[in-house]
């Protein structure tokens, strides 16, 4: 397999960075609950532990990485402000973290981002700049905007402090439930997967870490199988938080080293999992947040006889869209 290394100027994060992030997040991020369901366990034939990051501040795990990244900046840099690009959850997370840390925030968001995420980002006090994700390059736009305004860019996944912050969710999970056989994690750009894999390698070395992404946007699976980063056109899926076109250099390097596999599930499986969460566990989970659980419920990953951790990554879904999806 061809190994793609990150820029020499940026080193890969290690578990020590996850531990440092936990210290920064102490008393700021919620320690989200770990739930289980007898019905789900019987259905899959294993014991599943759901780490409910849909109940995190700003409604998703993204708050962990966003806060850790901004808190790691020196005071003068924070005062100048930060910039992020995101379809929603990273946007809200940066906006809230910036508000807590008294840092100006500008967020580049796609025009078709869920209305609830656009509104929440503005309500947290950030300036929102919109773009067309199907015809404009968000990375090029954000680089230009950051240069013009003198802002520090905090990307949604390919950043060592973001990766380390995201890894704290899995660290809490292992601390609460002990060693696991499997850890299932959703994949967009790979920040949560990479950070979770760092925690698994340190806290449960025998645990196989598996990424899960939407079938319509399986660039991660293709990259993992090919051994190099594969870029695809902007995918179309109800999993709006995973509509990335490629993994990051940092995230891919960690995924190659620490992840066992990446699988993909169809949108129909996400809707069914949303329904299970709502009806059986009384949880509101967005489609992207259902990716990991869908792999278990659909049989894409065999969980029989295994102890399985599942990161429920977020719950930011427009109420009208949520009702429409569940109504079928």
Q: Half-sphere exposure (CA, 13 Å, Cβ side) for 206?
A: 7
What's the token pair of residue 22? 């936990």
- Whether domain 63-153 has CATH 3.40.50.1100: the reply is yes
- Please check whether the two domains, 15-60+160-327 and 63-153, share a CATH topology: yes
Q: Which of 46, 53, 86, 87 is catalytic?
A: 87
User: What's the rounded Cα separation, in Å, for the pair 299 and 48?
Assistant: 13
Has 87 been annotated as catalytic?
Answer: yes
Cβ pair 253, 6 in contact under 8 A: yes
Catalytic residue (choose from 217, 289, 314, 315) = 217
For residue 213, indicate whether it is catalytic.
yes
Catalytic residue selected from 161, 218, 219, 272: 219
What is the reported pLDDT for 86? 86
Enumerate the domain spans of the chain: 15-60+160-327, 63-153
**Catalytic residue list contains 51:** no
Q: Is residue 17 among the annotated active site residues?
A: no
Q: Given this model, what pLDDT does residue 10 score?
A: 67
- Give CATH for domain 15-60+160-327: 3.40.50.1100
**Options 62, 190, 240, 298, the catalytic residue:** 62
pTM over 0.85: yes
Catalytic, 219? Answer yes
Mean pLDDT by 10 residues, the chain (328 residues): 42 97 98 97 98 97 98 97 90 96 95 86 94 86 92 96 98 98 98 98 98 97 97 93 94 98 98 97 97 98 98 93 90
Q: How far apart are alpha carbons 98 and 105 in whole angstroms?
A: 6
């Amino acid at each position: 397999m061809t190994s793609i290394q990150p820029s020499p100027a940026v080193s890969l994060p290690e578990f020590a960075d996850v531990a440092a992030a936990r210290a920064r997040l102490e008393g700021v991020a919620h320690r989200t609950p770990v739930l289980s369901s007898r019905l789900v366990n019987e259905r899959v034939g294993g014991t599943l532990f759901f780490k409910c990051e849909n109940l995190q501040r700003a409604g998703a795990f993204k708050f962990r990485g966003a806060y850790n990244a901004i808190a790691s900046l020196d005071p003068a840099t924070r005062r100048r402000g930060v910039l992020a690009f995101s379809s929603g959850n990273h946007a809200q997370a940066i906006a809230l973290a910036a508000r807590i840390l008294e840092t100006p925030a500008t967020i580049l968001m796609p025009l078709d981002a869920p209305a609830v995420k656009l509104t929440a980002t503005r309500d947290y006090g950030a300036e929102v700049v919109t773009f067309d994700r199907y015809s404009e390059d968000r990375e090029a736009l954000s680089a230009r905007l950051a240069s013009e305004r003198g802002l520090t860019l905090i990307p949604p996944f390919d950043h060592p402090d973001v990766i380390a912050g995201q890894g704290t969710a899995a660290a809490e999970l292992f601390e609460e439930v002990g060693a696991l056989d499997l850890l299932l994690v959703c994949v967009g750009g790979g920040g949560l997967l990479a950070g979770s894999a760092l925690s698994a390698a340190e806290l449960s070395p025998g645990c196989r870490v598996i990424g899960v992404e939407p079938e319509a946007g399986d660039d991660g699976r293709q990259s993992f199988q090919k051994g190099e980063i594969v870029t695809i056109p902007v995918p179309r899926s109800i999993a709006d938080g995973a509509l990335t076109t490629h993994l990051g250099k940092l995230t891919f390097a960690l995924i190659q080293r620490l992840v066992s596999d990446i699988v993909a599930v169809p949108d129909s499986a996400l809707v069914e999992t949303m329904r299970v969460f709502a009806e059986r566990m009384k949880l509101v989970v967005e489609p992207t947040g259902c990716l990991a659980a869908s792999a278990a419920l659909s049989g894409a990953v065999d969980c029989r006889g295994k102890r399985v951790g599942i990161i429920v990554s977020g719950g930011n879904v427009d109420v009208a869209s949520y009702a429409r999806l569940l109504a079928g």
